[in-house]
């Protein structure tokens, strides 16, 4: 059996991720540039709504594309538009509608992962999951148990993960295309080394110990949620597990338990932050109230939202409003910032007021990843 796997060339990881996900040579630079240009046209129309004679509009028209960088890297909006060609959707795994994915990722077909400017895909092909990172020499097999821990580790490391759903195109193997390679097999033939920052919970090709690993992860998570059980701290629990095991499985099991504990703690902190943000949303001032600013924001999905704020409101009030009112568009608040479409200025000091940030009149901001 064969898998389609493009390896890294220049800064084209977004294209590699899409093609590896779809298992075929579907997108190239020209196609992606056309999609980026289409998004640029849509953004110009949105800017024109604020007036074609404004300084904001004129400066925007002089700027380079916001959807493709000079290095050839494409934005998430372009990737989502490419997925739409096949009637596929990409939704952040932290989206409320994706609540069941973390518990049962094996039921999905594909994921697209991003950190800074690097994209890569995870795909189920013929009942097996594969890490199709273009930085790998070959696909890396992921057992179903390892898949869940792997996705959790990526989130802890700061990756944004998009769940791709829809009817994927049928896979046609074309040996005339150089990116088709023989599927790595069990028994040590898969020599692909995973990056050092990935946890190797088990040798996923051999797949031994999945049940034991699953029990260990479940037990460690249960201990975090019920610290009264069994006595001692989570670290003691982790050490006890490591001491009770023999051979090279000690480190793998300890890492799995540490990862599950860390993930549970991150989830709890995220829940606390969500409650705090929802409780601090300012009321919208009346249309005739003095010293107000109309904020219009383009979300990461391309959707446009807006409302009025007082000059005395802080930047954090805008972020809290976004989270509370448009939670479906915000994946992970800690990874997002507001950027001026006019000056490309990034606003990061959430404790400053709109007056101190010189956000006056009608302002168009864009939500971007840090």
Q: What is the pLDDT of residues 344-365, one digit of tens each?
A: 788 888 889 999 998 888 888 8
Residue pair 193/248 in contact by the 8 Å Cβ criterion: no
Residue pair 23/125 in contact by the 8 Å Cβ criterion: yes
Q: Which residues are catalytic?
A: 13, 118, 133
User: Which domains does the chain carry?
Assistant: 209-276 (no CATH), 292-369 (3.10.20.90)
In this prediction, residue 277 has a pLDDT band, given cuts at 50, 70 and 90, of low
Give the phi and the psi of residue 137 in degrees, each rounded to 5. -75, -25
pTM score > 0.75 for this model?
Answer: no
In this prediction, residue 319 has a pLDDT band, given cuts at 50, 70 and 90, of confident
Give the phi and the psi of residue 305 in degrees, each rounded to 5. -135, 160
CA 344 to chain centre: 22
Task: Check whether 262 has a pLDDT greater than 70.
Answer: no
With both helix axes pointing from N to C terminus, report the angle between 234-244 and 249-278 in degrees, rounded to the nearest 10: 160
Instruction: Compare 219 and 313 and report the one with higher pLDDT.
Output: 313
Question: Which of 244, 238, 201 has its CA nearest to residue 220?
Answer: 238
Question: Which of 152, 265, 145 has its CA nearest to residue 214?
Answer: 145
First to last CA, the chain: 40
DSSP tag of 343: T
Instruction: Compare 239 and 276 and report the one with higher pLDDT.
Output: 276
State the pLDDT at residue 257: 56
Residue pair 202/143 in contact by the 8 Å Cβ criterion: yes
- Of the listed ranges 3-17, 185-199, 273-287, the one predicted with least confidence: 185-199
């Amino acid at each position: 059996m064969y898998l389609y796997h493009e390896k890294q060339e220049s800064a084209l990881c977004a294209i590699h991720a899409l093609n590896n996900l779809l298992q075929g040579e579907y997108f190239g630079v020209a196609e992606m540039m056309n999609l980026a240009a289409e998004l640029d046209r849509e953004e110009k129309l949105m800017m024109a709504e604020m007036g074609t004679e404004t300084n904001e509009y004129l400066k925007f028209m002089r700027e380079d594309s916001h959807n493709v960088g000079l290095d050839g890297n494409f934005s998430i909006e372009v990737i989502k538009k490419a997925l739409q060609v096949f009637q596929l959707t990409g939704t952040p795994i932290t989206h409320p509608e994706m609540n069941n994915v973390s518990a049962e990722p094996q039921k999905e077909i594909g994921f697209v992962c991003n950190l800074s400017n690097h994209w890569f895909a995870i795909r189920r092909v013929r009942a097996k999951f594969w890490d199709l990172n273009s930085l790998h020499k070959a696909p890396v097999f992921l057992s179903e148990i390892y898949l869940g821990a792997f996705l959790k580790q990526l989130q802890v490391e700061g990756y944004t993960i998009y769940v791709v759903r829809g009817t994927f195109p049928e896979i046609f193997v074309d040996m005339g295309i150089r990116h088709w390679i023989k599927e790595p097999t069990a028994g040590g033939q898969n020599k692909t080394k995973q990056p050092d920052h990935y946890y190797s919970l088990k040798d996923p090709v051999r797949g031994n110990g999945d049940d034991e690993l699953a029990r260990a992860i479940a037990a460690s998570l249960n201990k975090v949620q019920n610290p009264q059980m069994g006595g001692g701290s989570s670290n003691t629990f982790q050490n006890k597990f490591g001491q009770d095991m023999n051979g090279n499985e000690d480190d793998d099991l300890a890492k799995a338990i540490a990862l599950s504990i860390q993930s549970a703690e991150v989830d709890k902190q995220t829940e606390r932050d969500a409650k705090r943000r929802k409780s601090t949303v300012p009321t919208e001032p009346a249309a005739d109230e003095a010293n107000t600013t109309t904020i219009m924001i383009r979300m990461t999905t391309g959707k446009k939202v807006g409302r009025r704020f007082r000059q005395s409101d802080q930047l954090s009030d805008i972020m809290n409003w976004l989270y509370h009112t448009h939670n479906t568009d915000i994946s992970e608040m800690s990874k997002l910032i507001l950027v001026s479409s006019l000056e490309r200025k990034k606003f990061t000091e959430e404790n400053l007021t709109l007056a101190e940030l010189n956000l006056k009149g009608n302002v168009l901001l864009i939500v971007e990843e840090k």
